[in-house]
Structures are given as C-alpha cells and as structure tokens.
Structure 1
C-alpha cells in the first residue's frame, strides 16, 4: 500500500512540475536567464545557485535544469524554501545552510527573514541598513512579519568537496550583501566556475577577491547584476 501511495505522490509531483515548466520555464528576474544564455547556450551543464529561494521564483537556473538538461546544487537557508527546492528541483542537490567565509569559525549563523530579501545579520554593514531592508521587504513582498533564525554555516568549498564536483559552468550568487564572504569561502585554484553571476551590492569587496581570476564581461541590470568570466593563464575561455 505504501509503495502505491509513494508512486502516486511521485506522479503527482512530476505532473505539477511539468505544468510549471509548460506555463513559464523562465522565471528569472529581469530576464537574467535569457541574458546569460548567449554565453551559456548549451545543454548538460552544471550550476550552483546560492540564495535559491523556493527553486522557482526569480530562479536563474530553473530554465537550465528543465529546458537544457543541466544539473546542479541549490543552497537556501530558509527552511520552507529549502523544502520547496527539494520538491521542485528533481535534478539538483539541495542544501539548507548559509554560505560563509573560510575564516568563519561558528557552526551556525544568525539570519533575518525577509522573503526574497532575507539577510545574514549584519550583512548590510549596519543595523540601520539591515532594518531598512527588512521594512522594504515587509512592504513590497507582502510579508506579515520578519523573524530571526539560525542556520548551519558552511563554506562553498566544503559543499563542492562533499559533492565531488568536477566542473562548474555557472555560479549564481544572490545573497543580499554577503557576496564577498561567500566568495572568500571558495578556493578558486581548486574550483573555478566558468561564469559567475552576482547581484553585487558591494562591488569593490567582491572584485578584490575575484579579479585575479575573473574578468567582468557584462553588467546585466542597472548596475546590480554583474557577469564575470573566468580567466585561465590570464585569458578568457
């Protein structure tokens, strides 16, 4: 009986996913998945999306998974979003954690829930800036209330080691001001994504870390979303 119930649940899940894909396979904000496709116009790639939300809303990788046969890793700190990622993204490995720098010593990290604008506590450099972000989310995302929570802290390197990742075509990073810390947790001599798409709040901090390995090739949206291409021996691939 349980096997039959599980089979029915699986069929229902696949039907729901198929309906979503058929309705709109490109949910990316500002058409980012379309804008990067001229650089990533091929099948069977591998992605990492940090700040994956629910796996669909504003996802930069949903299209690649279901229309270009990519596989990848999704990283999402908010528990209910993580569970949705697991449900919707059948070809992705999903982690419920927050990414941190290589120097971060604690096992967990404090975060403040704000829907798509959820932040690491202190990520925006001051409590005033953090509070402004929270209030903006409450207003524009129709969120009833914010709340603080703690989640496991991991470096991106540790996850890639665990998954035995061999190549990365795209790293999509949308972590609301914590980008430099996340990038500091990645050894670019060991793992060098072909392209990195970053919502860059603190561009100088980010480029201090990645410019020895990457070149900015395009600003995709109003000075926010930046696409960087990896350099090998000082040259673009």
Structure 2
C-alpha cells in the first residue's frame, strides 16, 4: 500500500496545511473511523464536499450512522459502514452514551482509570448503554471494498486509535 497520512488529534494549522496539499490529489481515497454525523467536529468534511474525495466512513452508533448518511446523501462517491474496527470479525459490545458523547469499545471503568475528564463527561451525559455492533478488522474492510491505495486515515475512536493503527499492513 502506498504511503498515507494518519490523523488522530493534530494541531489545527498543521492538519490544514497537510490537507490542503492532499486536497487536489488525483484518485484520492480516505477512511474515516469514528465519522460521527459527518458534521460535528469533522476535520475533513469541507474537503470531502469541495474536492469530492472518495472514501469510507465508519460509524457504529445506529442513530448517528443514519445522520451521517443523511448529511452526505448527495455524495455518491462515499461508502458507509455501520461497524467498529476491531481485531475480530463478528459482534462486539459497544458502550454508547445517550448523546453520542465518548462512545467507545471501553466501558465506564476504562474512562475512570484512563481519562477522568472523559469519565465525567460520560457520567454527565447519563452514563453508557451497552449495545452489540458488527466489527471487522481494518485490512478486511479495505479488502471488502477492493481498496488498492489509501491516502488518508482519520481516526477518532476514544481510546482505540493506536490499536487500529497497529492493524494496518502497510506492505499490502
């Protein structure tokens, strides 16, 4: 697989410079994991719309996934997947907050131990509800859609970003 950029949280101006350089690239392809509704705090939305980027948008929360599809309903170049990226294919427990705040594969105990601010936000939002969602390894997702090259991966998965990066087989 050709070289690509991975974004988690990065300085706004640095991200903007990189995205502007990538923006007009021919045959650009991206994967956005944790795409949310496609509007709220989305660092790549304007590029998707302006440059008609092709890509896969991954969002596991059913209600948020429907908003995502609605918010990009006129973008035929996009692929939508309602699942989580995980090391296994199948069903996994996923912890969803009522207002989609800090939903993740981690339960409240992980947030309490690793992210006190996130734990407080999750509690203020009403706690977390456990739901079952489909899961798929990253490389399997790319193979499913016959993706031969990848230019950008944008990840926002509340504590699972590094695990997803480890799943990438850059040599493919």
Distance of 2:109 and 2:152 partners within structure 1: 28
Distance 1:69-1:83 versus aligned 2 partners, 3 A rule? same
Q: How many residues align?
A: 156
Aligned counterpart for 1:162 among listed residues 144, 150, 168? 144
The answer for unaligned runs of 5 or more in structure 2 is: 1-8
TM-score using structure 1 length: 0.57
CA contact (8 A) 2:112 2:119 kept: no
1:135 equivalent to 2:120? Answer yes
Distance of 1:99 and 1:87 partners within structure 2: 22
CA contact (8 A) 1:51 1:174 kept: yes
CA contact (8 A) 1:113 1:147 kept: yes
The structure with more radius of gyration = 1
Q: Equivalent residue for 1:173? A: 155
Aligned counterpart for 2:102 among listed residues 97, 117, 129? 117
Q: Equivalent residue for 2:69? A: 86
Distance of 1:116 and 1:29 partners within structure 2: 20
Distance of 2:113 and 2:71 partners within structure 1: 33
Distance 1:70-1:112 versus aligned 2 partners, 3 A rule? same
Aligned counterpart for 1:184 among listed residues 140, 154, 166? 166
SS where residue 176 of structure 1 aligns? coil
The answer for unaligned runs of 5 or more in structure 1 is: 1-27, 191-237
Aligned counterpart for 2:50 among listed residues 60, 67, 70? 67
CA contact (8 A) 1:113 1:148 kept: yes
- For 1:171-196, what per-residue CA distance to the aligned partner results, in whole angstroms no more than 9, with x for missing partners? 00111111122123322111xxxxxx
After superposition, residues 1-237 of structure 1 pair within 5 angstroms as: 31=12, 34-44=16-26, 45-89=28-72, 90=75, 91-101=77-87, 104=88, 107-114=90-97, 115-121=100-106, 126=110, 128-129=112-113, 132=116, 133-139=118-124, 143-190=125-172
Distance 1:35-1:128 versus aligned 2 partners, 3 A rule? same
Distance of 2:130 and 2:33 partners within structure 1: 20
> Relative contact order: is structure 1 or structure 2 higher (C-alpha 8 Å, sep ≥ 6)?
2
TM-score using structure 2 length: 0.76
Shift of 1:55: 1.3
